[in-house]
């Protein structure tokens, strides 16, 4: 395998010759620009570093990916692939059939096909194993009916990894399958959900009416969907935390560990001339400390996962830390901007601190809420006993009946 030093030299030379330096004043690129840039990286051999060559990856390692991210840090790299390449691609790598991997991973890496996740439902997101979407086998295909919700990027994506119930007569975790669902297929209806910021819809609700999925598009065994979902969530938390395959795919344009939308309050305070305001100074400093330490925590966890000292869902710890840090950041933004953050004259855009505040809860809920991360950290990382639950060993049908009785 190419040594890290050789790789670094080669990557640096290519980056200097082919990429633009990052400029914070330049607006985010359009979808087309990002796609072109992703294809350019793919064609030059700078994507899928730890993906085997047979799936059009580089056959190198995650350490190479880390080197790439270091070298490319000050340059413009494609945005918008965190989910597809950072989370879904490694999930396919772990679980998909050979034919599906050969067909789709190259297209994912080139940015031609976007994958996303279909886990949460209108009836619930935290309790993902309670999915009500139904998968019925007929011949060599499965047919999916039901509804998913909060699905980020569904309008532009080509495939979604969909958790659906195959068997209703076994306990809830044991009856699920994970399917690669074609979003452009017959029987799929997608509607955008407008977020509280009033921005364009980025998450959606989907209705599935007998959507056909060939058997080779099941991830893991027919009733092993829960384990497959765990794998997916593992990659998701890593990507959010900026570790593992997800390193470098954070959604924010900042070189910030983690994908959370975090305002730079030092610049904001300077702009509003309150950087030295005695009522705010200590909080602004603390906020800077939190942001630096958050990045350091992410780097530590990454080191631990690479060295093998840490095993398992440590991405959850980083995600939790972000979930603790972001609310403070967003709220302090309101103080820093003061009245000028909520009321402004003239036609220039404004209200960004309020928008951040409206948006940050997205990061403390999406991908498993803070509370769910705390459950994971305490139960899986610390090994503490679970709360008693009465839904685990009962056939799912029975559970549904009980619930109806209780509610009536």
Residues engaged in binding ligand FAD (CB under 6 A): 116-120, 124-126, 150-152, 203, 362, 365-369, 371-372, 375
Report which of 223, 224, 256, 230 is spatially closest to residue 242, judged by C-alpha positions: 256
Between 73 and 122, whose beta carbon lies closer to other proteins?
73
Between 103 and 359, whose beta carbon lies closer to ligand FAD?
359
Q: What is the DSSP letter of 124?
A: B
Asked if 67 touches other proteins (CB under 8 A), the answer is: no
Q: How many CB atoms lie within 10 A of CB 141?
A: 15
**Residue window 317-336: x/- pattern of binding to other proteins, with contact defined by CB under 8 A:** x--xx--x------------
Tracing tokens 């503490």 back to the chain, one arrives at 384
Which of 286, 352, 393, 398 is the binder for other proteins (CB under 8 A)?
A: 286
CB-CB contact of 219 with 226 (8 Å):
no
Using the CB atoms, write b or e for 177-216: b if 16+ within 10 Å: bbbbbbbeeeebebeeeeeeeeeeebbbbbebeebbbeee
Asked if 284 touches other proteins (CB under 8 A), the answer is: yes
How many residues line the site for other proteins (CB under 8 A)? Answer: 43
Instruction: Report the partner that residue 315 touches, choosing among other proteins, ligand FAD, none (CB closer than 5 to 8 A by kind).
Output: none
* 136 three-class SS: strand
Q: How many CB atoms lie within 10 A of CB 48?
A: 26
Least distance in angstroms from the C-beta of 102 to ligand FAD: 26
Least distance in angstroms from the C-beta of 246 to other proteins: 18
User: How many Å apart are CA 330 and CA 356, to the nearest integer?
Assistant: 6
**Residue window 294-313: x/- pattern of binding to other proteins, with contact defined by CB under 8 A:** x-xx-xxx-xx-xx-xx---
Asked if 407 touches other proteins (CB under 8 A), the answer is: no
Candidates 34-42, 101-109, 194-202, 380-388: pick the segment binding other proteins (CB under 8 A).
380-388
Least distance in angstroms from the C-beta of 190 to ligand FAD: 12
Between 252 and 375, whose beta carbon lies closer to other proteins?
375
Helix, strand and coil percent figures for the chain, each rounded to 5 = 50, 15, 35
């Amino acid at each position: 395998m190419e040594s890290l030093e050789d790789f670094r030299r080669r990557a640096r030379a290519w980056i200097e010759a082919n990429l633009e330096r990052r400029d914070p004043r330049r607006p985010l690129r359009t979808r087309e620009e990002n796609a072109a840039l992703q294809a350019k990286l793919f064609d030059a051999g700078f994507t899928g570093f730890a993906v085997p060559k047979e799936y059009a990856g580089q056959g190198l390692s995650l350490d190479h990916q880390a080197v790439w991210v270091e070298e490319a840090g000050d340059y413009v790299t494609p945005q918008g692939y965190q989910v597809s390449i950072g989370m879904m691609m490694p999930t396919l790598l772990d679980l998909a059939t050979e034919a599906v991997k050969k067909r789709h991973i190259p297209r994912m890496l080139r940015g031609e096909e976007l994958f996303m996740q279909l886990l949460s439902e209108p009836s619930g997101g935290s309790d993902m194993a309670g999915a009500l979407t139904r998968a019925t086998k007929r011949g060599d295909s499965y047919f999916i009916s039901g509804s998913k919700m909060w699905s980020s990027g569904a309008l532009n994506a080509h495939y979604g990894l969909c958790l659906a119930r195959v068997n209703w007569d076994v306990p809830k975790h044991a009856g699920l399958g994970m399917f690669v669902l074609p979003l452009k297929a017959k029987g799929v209806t997608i509607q955008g959900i407008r977020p509280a910021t009033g921005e364009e819809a980025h998450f959606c609700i989907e209705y599935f009416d007998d959507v056909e999925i060939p058997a080779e598009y099941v991830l893991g065994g027919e009733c092993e969907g829960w384990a497959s979902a765990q794998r997916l969530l593992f990659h998701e938390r890593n990507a959010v935390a900026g570790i593992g395959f997800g390193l470098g795919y954070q959604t924010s344009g900042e070189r910030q560990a983690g994908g959370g939308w975090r305002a730079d309050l030092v610049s904001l305070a300077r702009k509003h001339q309150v950087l030295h305001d005695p009522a705010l100074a200590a909080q602004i400093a603390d906020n800077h400390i939190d942001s630096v330490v958050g990045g350091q925590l992410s780097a530590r966890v990454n080191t631990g996962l690479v060295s093998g000292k840490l095993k398992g869902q440590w991405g959850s710890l980083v995600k939790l830390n972000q979930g603790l840090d972001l609310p403070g950041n967003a709220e302090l933004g309101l103080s820093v901007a003061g009245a000028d953050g909520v009321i402004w004259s003239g036609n220039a855009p404004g209200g960004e601190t309020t928008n951040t505040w409206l948006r940050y809860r997205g990061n403390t809920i999406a991908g498993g809420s803070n509370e769910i991360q705390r459950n994971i950290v305490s139960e899986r990382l610390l090994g503490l006993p679970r709360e008693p639950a009465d839904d685990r060993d009962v056939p799912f049908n029975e559970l549904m009946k009980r619930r109806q009785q209780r509610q009536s």
